Structure 1
């Protein structure tokens, strides 16, 4: 692509990358708190929704309550707390339309490179749209493009995979409109995707087997929040919304902290609940008693115990074993057992891809994410005028993303008041230790340790998994905190 002088490029005060939950949230905060800012949203795909538009497998739903996953400025008011993927996608679309955010979205714009110039105090963003190269500039870059590769999910290199004569499906590329009723389906995995798929496939009439290498903590949660619905019937909407949101925030923090402090007690309580729902039909100790502590990996939620119902009734089976190899008619297990399969669903996880996979440079020097520390869970050390949305792993994603969006607005207003054009987190504390940014032991996070930024041993470099702590850090501390370096362009 032939480059033009920067003065001829279309320029924005802020470019937001991604039109999912966090991108729409960032746009709302920007236009409501910084109405003078000129912005656009660049979305690589052709629709609003992000994760909730991409995934279309049967039964897809939220894995946290919608009263905290939804936007605080447009509260979720349906009586279902654990919502379907389609209803979440529509909720995001309706929100963008209601606030005019949809008019700011440029679809099919995939960014390949973003380069910061300190001399000009701006990012030059390059990419492709409809087969044509584009180039834009902006003063601030807000990355709301998630943390995984939208193009391809993770499938282990199983032995004999080429010998399998059935259909292999990854949930990230689910075949539209296909019904697996009457077929023998093996779902490999025990995470949120697997426990969502299995009841739905069983209801289609498939003969489903859940194949897991090791157990996962799984707990049942009512699809409807009775307390939230009770408050909505008796209180003004705004009051009921706030009380419900804080109730659920408080409960998630309490249970997480309790599990961290008393992991063995928590484990036994979870297993006791499972025995009531599954025994004697299912051996809970074999299939639902993980070797790790609760919340070393994310705890899976199943609404109204739907997974347990299909296992208890015999509509689905569960096997805990290792895969020896694939064969023509199914999967040979290490124990010698053979699982016949017409279809194998590899619910085996995601591939991490931060920053949308774009190449990033600061004053012509490439940015290697693993060499940088995370500032307040939203910026990178030595990378100016850039924030990224990364939600909680132990609570609703949007809670943290909304705090990030509000902090970006605080930062921009501070810069405007003081005639500043550049803000850069600087790590100058020689005594500060660092460690990987891993809050869970999930496989997709462990596989990506060399690709993700690191966290420090204390604030503001420490990544909290606590909404209340982050609220205090990001809303009530000074923007000019002695760590953020402010300067003006030459």
Structure 2
């Protein structure tokens, strides 16, 4: 069926150019989703889902859509995570939306501020009325004969069925119900309390207590300085160090631009400034890893002073961006260490004891509270069971097309952001590409779009990352290929060219009318 679109003319200039972010939002019509065929069913009402709905309303105002959210509130990660100090680890001028300026003076924002931003975005655009809360999608079955997905969702103990032409997975990449939870010898003997940040108990009081935080990633470096403000002492216990860099919580240039320029212009200038800085620093780190490593370790050493053992506690064994670099706003972690409110110990646990932790070095750490900041558990597509014409789909057996579709799976879009930059940069490109795809199908009276997997392509891991949570999930993630459009860039500028400004009909994406699977 490729021949149906083979004589397509190039997209018009108007469609190829990015749409101004200040265009008014056009709300889609109300509908009865259980008795109508939706154009788009979005799964997840977090950062990605709200952004996808906003772009869809603005660029394809005639399309009907619904968002199914498994939890009882919008916000995704920013509603789920309630641990002390929860915040962004990217600046909000790039983690926020391109179409809605971030106006808070703090560029490194806390969780409540980000959640307010998401609520405001959804309310202003009329998106909230399209969300069905407490609807957890468990199964999605594609039928080529009908050119649609039949989706099953659990709601109040019952199954509801909806149908949609496109399924848009905006459910993030990790398991909301379960975090990575290693087991340790002697846990039953411990008289204190053990908690996980992902499931932080409401009103947990740790004032005046001895706290040990296990881990050295983004969650741990957030928890330690925040808890140190009221705990007797907080110890970050790590098996190995991470790269940790201080960044001002306020972007002075952004705040100056906002005072002197129109809001949207200031936002776009700041966004591009930060994008280019991120890309430049990442490229330098990958091109000259030894130099970048010396610089990052040197920055930590200057924060901590000449007598601190930086070689043991802040010098990782890997190169920068083999794992994500941790950001601490205004050097808060380093300040807590200098003041003696917190400490870093690099060692491994032998076992729990009644009063704390016995380490393999023989040292014992006293603890009233142990926080297991030991990482996420990846769960792609929210754990939805997929099938195509009765054939069960295992994501690990597929290739990722442009980082947003799966090989041989029709009419499925997946929001998956960057590992080395703000998540939203990539999912914003995905949302706009999806709208271009919808317009293309409408213009050619087509109903099905599916990336056809080539037979001569060597598969490789989707994420070139050595972080534990990625390595543990390698067998569950899709793969990528060695060439475009199967190669997943971790570069916004390259994606901007290869996603926004390339033809929809690229020779790889196959098309067909309703009732006939391309190539079938």
TM-score with structure 2 setting the length? 0.92
Q: Secondary structure, in 3 states, of the residue corresponding to 2:178?
A: coil
What is the Cα deviation at residue 232 of structure 1?
1.7
- Residue in 2 that maps onto 1:163: 189
Compute the displacement of 1:281 (Å): 4.7
1:85 is aligned to 111
Change (3 A) 1:275 1:485: same
**Equivalent position of 2:7 in the other structure:** none
The Cα of 1:8 is off from its aligned counterpart by 7.5
Question: For residue 374 of structure 2, what is the aligned residue in structure 1?
Answer: 348
What are the residue-to-residue correspondences of 1:108-147 with 2, within 5 Å? 108-147=134-173
Question: Do the aligned residues in 1 keep the contact of 2:41 with 2:166 (CA within 8 Å)?
Answer: yes
In 1, Cα distance between equivalents of 2:175 and 2:300: 34
Query: Per-residue CA shift, 1:384-442, capped at 9, x if unaligned?
Result: 000010000100000000100111100011001111110000122x3321101123111
> Using a 3 Å threshold, how does the CA distance of structure 1 residues 235 and 337 change in structure 2: closer, same or farther?
same
Aligned residues: 483
Measured after TM superposition, the shift of residue 9 of structure 1 is: 4.3
Q: Does 1:235 align with 2:261?
A: yes
1:205 positional shift: 2.9
Are the counterparts in 1 of residues 459 and 482 from structure 2 also a CA contact under 8 Å?
A: yes
Q: CA deviation at 1:229?
A: 1.2
2:474 matches 1:474: no
Q: What residue number does 1:4 align with? A: none
Partner of 1:287: 313
C-alpha distance in structure 1 between counterparts of 2:435 and 2:59, whole Å: 7
CA distance in 2, matches of 1:134, 1:229: 47
> What's the Cα RMSD here?
1.1
- Residues in 2 aligned to 1:489 and 1:205: alpha-carbon distance in whole angstroms: 62
Give the one of 62, 79, 84 matched to 2:88.
Answer: 62
Maintained 8 Å contact 2:210/2:231: no
Gaps of 5+ in 1: 1-6
Q: CA deviation at 1:279?
A: 2.1
Cα separation, 2, equivalents of 1:297 and 1:136:
40
Moved more, 57-66 or 277-286: 277-286
Q: 1:236, CA displacement in angstroms?
A: 2.3
The match for 1:194 is 220
SS of the aligned residue for 1:112 comes to strand
| Aligned mates of 1:137, 1:194 — CA distance in 2 | 42
2:518 match: none
Residue in structure 2 matched with residue 204 of structure 1 by the alignment: 230
The 8 Å contact of residues 179 and 376 in structure 2, kept in 1 or not, is answered as yes
The answer (yes or no) to whether the contact 2:211–2:231 under 8 Å persists in 1 is no
Secondary structure of residue in 2 paired with 1:60? coil
Residue 335 (structure 2) pairs with residue 297 (structure 1): no
Paired residues of 2:34 and 2:162 also in contact (CA < 8 A):
no
Cα distance in 2 for partners of 1:216, 1:477 equals 38
Pairing partner for 1:456 from 460, 469, 481 = 481
CA distance in 2, matches of 1:253, 1:434: 26
Deviation at 1:276, TM superposition (A): 1.0
CA contact (8 A) 1:281 1:312 kept: no
Aligned twin of 1:439: 464
Q: Report SS of the residue matched to 2:358.
A: strand
C-alpha distance in structure 2 between counterparts of 1:431 and 1:388, whole Å: 24
1:211 and 1:186 map into 2 onto residues whose CA distance is 7
For the residue of structure 2 that corresponds to 1:260, the secondary structure is helix
Aligned to 1:361: 387
Q: Deviations over 1:425-468 (max 9, x none)?
A: 0122x332110112311100000010000000011000100001
Q: Say if 1:192 and 1:300, in contact at 8 Å, map to a contact too.
A: yes
Runs of 4+ in structure 1 off by over 3 angstroms are 7-10
Distance 1:245 1:166 in 2: 45
Q: 1:362-381 CA distances to partner (integer Å, 9 max, x unpaired)?
A: 00000011110000000000
2:401 counterpart (375, 389, 404): 375
3-state SS of the aligned residue for 1:83? coil
Per the TM alignment, residue 202 of structure 1 is displaced from its structure 2 partner at its CA by: 0.5
How far off is 1:149 after superposition?
0.6
Q: CA contact under 8 A between 1:112 and 1:128: conserved in structure 2?
A: yes
5+ residue gaps, structure 2: 1-32, 516-520
